[in-house]
Structure 1
Amino acid sequence: MDQQFTIQTNSTFREFYTYLTGMNLQTLSFIIISLKD
């Protein structure tokens, strides 16, 4: 049961991390575009 919970937590954390990374990439792209103008 502990292992199952750990696997579920890891997948959730991975999704959250991917979400944050995506947001950071979008923000960086937006900042770069703003600096170009």
Structure 2
Amino acid sequence: ETDSLRFYHLGSKWRRKVEHHGAKPAVDVFKDVLIV
């Protein structure tokens, strides 16, 4: 198995400061909306 890490940098522009390191590309939960 392969794990991944996501780092959220705190501050006023935190959405631009998200780093993802791992096997799969990250899903942006703020752009991709799922309505159930």
1 or 2, which has the higher helix percentage? 1
Which is higher, the Rg of structure 1 or of structure 2? 1
If the length of structure 1 is used for normalisation, what is the TM-score?
Answer: 0.22
- With CA pairs under 8 Å and 6+ residues apart, which has the higher RCO, 1 or 2? 2
1 or 2, which has the higher strand percentage? 2
If the length of structure 2 is used for normalisation, what is the TM-score?
Answer: 0.23
